[in-house]
Amino acid sequence: MESENKENITELISDVRSTTTKDTDNVSVKEKDMDPELIPNLKEKKAKPEPDFFNNPKSTGGLQAHFSKFRKAKKQDIKYRNYVSKQSLAHRNDPNFKQKLREKFVETAKKYFGVPYAPRYWKEGEKHYNAPLYLDCCALVRQVIYDLREEFGFQLDRWNQAYQFDTLPIDLKFEEMKPGDLVFYSGIYYNSKMRKQKHNMVHVEIFTGGETGEQSIGARWQKGEVQFFDSYKFTSTAYHSIEFHYKSLDTYLEGVCRSFCDQHSWSSANMQWAPGKKSIFNIDDEYDEADMNAPDVDDMEDEGESKKPCLADRAVPCFIGQGNNPSLAKDSLTNLGYRIMAKGMLFSSEYRFKWTQTSMEINYMHFKEGVHICNHISNANKVYTNKIATLETIQNLKLSFQSGEIKSDLYSSVSQFFPETYRLDMVSDLHQFLNTSTDGFWLEKKSQSN
């Protein structure tokens, strides 16, 4: 069956390539057969160069003027990003939001039950040899956070449990532990050749409490799987002198992920860039809600300088970002005579139309009603929803049924009115789907298509 599928896929690819070649040949033939009066217009359209931010610098004030405009717009974008970040953190302090995310964190971890620890411990012919996924203790935590990265607002970096320990500063007593908090283990390896871990941190598990009061979820054994454990306490054959460190998940729930350790900064190129004090993009002034009513940086005049004519005086400027079928908007606007702004003008507010992949690429704080037109609205998730948002809402409803927060005389569970559903773009759901025992047909629905 597998070989037949590969042959079918190969034939399909060949058909696509063949069709593409034929279509290309047909286009060239049609051009030869076209009305001669239309050919010059066609060639002129093809030869039309794409507007370049740095082309013809003399007519627009020179490269230095361009950079000055870009710098101002970039600083404006950083201000806006900081403002949005502050507002987001304020929202995350809501106890209901944090509790829902905490529950989702535990539920997502459960989806990885049965995933083996590491590939090197399984030989050919054994149960988990060549498995599609492996998770050790810290990788489980990292993967769950990654699956919920939109809710948490970040994703954990590549380091192990010592890094995760340093990013959770709130110490707890065992009696204060709640489901979703983490238990870290420090210890000394029996094998002196083993690489010493920072803080001697050797293991981590997710605390759940459960019926025993000490239940946890983790990847504990080399030949084991992700599973429930009746107690987070155990005796290891790899290390001794174990000490338990109880850490609150609240820091993550509030959208904060950084090192709180004076000894280890855990800096990474993967972290979001922010300008330093010596950066030309550094923001010297404080930023608060009052800046929402401030004029656009493009409208501000430097002292001693007269304002230069706006580029829009010559042609209506439009910005087309990456993704979301940009050619559709670009072709339509250029055919109408509009000027496409260069990619470096992402932060500029000097546009008439803006087409982007996500709403995060639009600075709504400087959006001018009646002047700017965008393909997103700022509060889209509050006004209307989509398939993914609907699925997440139903998953939250499922948690509310399970916790007893919501009770109904008609339904006792979500499964009574909603079919078994998985998100194949999430590793946890994909793992569950591949291991489901449900028979019958499955309906596949693309998340971004109607």
Instruction: Render pLDDT for 312-340 as a digit per residue (tens, 0 to 9).
Output: 345 788 999 877 778 888 888 888 888 89
> Domain spans of the chain?
83-253, 387-434
Q: Which residues contact 306 (CB under 8 A, 6 or more apart)?
A: none
- Tell me how far apart the alpha carbons of residues 349 and 75 are, in angstroms, rounded to a whole number: 12
Cβ atoms within 10 Å, residue 420: 11
Q: Which residues, given as ranges, of the chain have pLDDT below 50?
A: 1-3, 5-6, 9-10, 12-35, 38-39, 41-45, 53-55, 57-58, 269-274, 281, 283, 285-313
Radius of gyration of the chain (CA): 28
HSE toward the beta carbon, residue 441, CA cutoff 13 A: 2
Q: How far apart are CA 257 and CA 18, in angstroms?
A: 50
User: How far apart (Å, rounded) are the C-alpha atoms in residues 81 and 381?
Assistant: 19
Q: For residue 432, which phi and psi values (nearest 5 degrees)?
A: -65, -40
- Are 113 and 199 contacting, i.e. CB atoms less than 8 angstroms apart? no
Q: Tell how strand 353-355 and strand 339-340 pair up.
A: unpaired
pLDDT value of residue 269: 44
CATH 3.90.1720.10 fits 83-253, yes or no: yes
Nearest to 426 by CA among 225, 154, 145: 145
Pairing of strands 353-355, 182-189: unpaired
Distance CA 414, CA 393 (A): 11
